[in-house]
Amino acid sequence: MKKRILTGDRPTGRLHLGHYVGTLKNRINLQNEYETFIILADLHTLTTKPEKEAIQKIESNVRDLMLDYLSVGIDPKKVVFYRQSHVPEVAYLYLLFSMLVTKPRLERMPTLKEVMRDLKIENASLGLLSYPVLQAADILMVRANLVPVGKDQESHIELTREIAQKFNQMYSKVFPEPEALIGNESATLVGTCGKAKMSKSLGNCIYLSDSPDEVKKKVMGMYTDPNRIHGDEPGKVEGNPVFIYHDIFNPDKDEVADLKLRYKAGNIKDIEVKEKLAIAINNFLDPIRKKRAEFEKDPELITEILEEGNKKARAEAQETLKLAKEAMGLTS
């Protein structure tokens, strides 16, 4: 019997190359090895964007997210896609779990501090403070055994394990104690600015759905070696975003090696290196864009996939909640 995993994203906009390197590439492989649930965590978006204007964008963001998933090769025949808000049982489970976690424990979560710092939030709302508990409910609702996460999210899985352990000890064994499936720590992609990882909020992204012209424009404006003023000066390859991208997206390794040698020797201008990178990235994205265009021709496809996935996820949730309530003696 295959082990079960839960993974997913908040529907906050289109996915970019950083998502592909960091998570999507891994999910394409995992779908063949595990029983996979992919959550479109729309309720989680409210923790940092509760404004009505942001909420009104969720529907279109869900569609964009699904198009990106399907276009890169995540197969709805192999995974269960579902929307968090369409499985109301998770809110009940979240309430039960909130009785098992203290406020100081949540305040120690390192990711909370990072979010508050990055978004300049002085006082966390109850929803933001307790979102790791909702995340635990998401994971344990489908009784996942494994959760693919980056090293920075490992603390969330630790909390989920604590909740599962405490529930099982207080009542009876209902929940597995999920393990974190830690991804490659180097699997992050620096943004086109060269100063931080690729992020929608920083505007340093190349999106999976960008047109060839948009890709070229962004690549031509990329950060390179700041100490190299002229093309006849030796340049630094290590840590240079343009060459980081070449290593990942340019399959012609001989060309990449030649570009590096010439760059180090000062025998090539940045413009040529960037033009070849734009070609490589567009070659990489072409089949993804073509698949996206095909999926966009069938406007009902995403609705049908999510309706089917919502039913499957809700059936799991109802069974899990039934077991939890029976263990607690909350039946009547």
Per-residue pLDDT of the chain (332 residues; tens, 9 = 90+): 789 999 999 999 999 999 999 889 999 999 999 999 999 999 999 988 899 999 999 999 999 999 999 999 999 999 999 999 999 999 999 999 999 999 999 989 887 877 777 777 778 888 888 999 999 999 999 999 999 987 778 889 999 999 999 999 999 999 999 999 876 644 678 899 888 888 887 889 999 999 999 999 999 999 898 888 777 789 999 989 999 999 999 999 999 999 999 999 999 999 999 999 999 999 999 999 999 999 999 989 999 999 999 999 999 999 999 999 999 999 86
Note whether residue 153 is domain-resident.
Answer: yes
Query: Are 64 and 92 in the same domain?
Result: yes
Classify the C-alpha dihedral 87-88-91-96 as positive or negative: negative
Query: Are 306 and 284 in the same domain?
Result: no
pLDDT reported for residue 332: 65
Query: By residue range, what is the domain housing residue 260?
Result: 210-293
Query: Are 178 and 243 in the same domain?
Result: no
- Helix (H) and strand (E) counts in the chain: 15, 5
Instruction: State whether residue 190 is helix, strand or coil.
Output: strand
Note whether residue 37 is domain-resident.
Answer: yes
Note whether residue 201 is domain-resident.
Answer: no
Note whether residue 204 is domain-resident.
Answer: no
Angle CA(46)–CA(49)–CA(54) in degrees, nearest 5? 105
Give the CATH number for residue 272: 1.10.240.10
What are the distances in angstroms from CA 241 to CA 24, 207, 251, 273? 21, 16, 17, 11
Query: Are 260 and 284 in the same domain?
Result: yes
Instruction: State whether residue 319 is helix, strand or coil.
Output: helix
Give the CATH number for residue 75: 3.40.50.620
73 Cβ contact partners less than 8 Å away, ≥ 6 residues apart: 28, 291
Query: Are 138 and 43 in the same domain?
Result: yes
pLDDT reported for residue 221: 94
User: What φ, ψ does residue 37 adopt, rounded to 5°?
Assistant: -110, 130
CA–CA separation, 176 vs 22, rounded Å?
26
Q: What is the pTM of this model?
A: 0.91
For the chain, what is the domain count? Answer: 2
Residue 211 has a CB neighbour count (10 Å cut-off) of 12
Note whether residue 68 is domain-resident.
Answer: yes
Query: Are 8 and 107 in the same domain?
Result: yes
Query: Are 165 and 66 in the same domain?
Result: yes
Note whether residue 194 is domain-resident.
Answer: no
Query: Are 215 and 283 in the same domain?
Result: yes
User: What φ, ψ does residue 149 adopt, rounded to 5°?
Assistant: -145, 160
Query: Are 25 and 131 in the same domain?
Result: yes
- Among residues 62, 55, 64, 85, which one has the least CA distance to residue 16? 64
- Among residues 93, 258, 274, 108, which one has the least CA distance to residue 194? 274
Query: Are 21 and 147 in the same domain?
Result: yes
Note whether residue 197 is domain-resident.
Answer: no
pLDDT reported for residue 113: 78
Query: Are 138 and 158 in the same domain?
Result: yes
Note whether residue 106 is domain-resident.
Answer: yes
Query: Are 74 and 163 in the same domain?
Result: yes
Residue 51 has a CB neighbour count (10 Å cut-off) of 8
- Among residues 165, 157, 99, 164, which one has the least CA distance to residue 320? 164
What are the distances in angstroms from CA 197 to CA 21, 186, 248, 269, 285? 11, 11, 15, 25, 20
pLDDT reported for residue 99: 97
CA–CA separation, 36 vs 247, rounded Å?
30
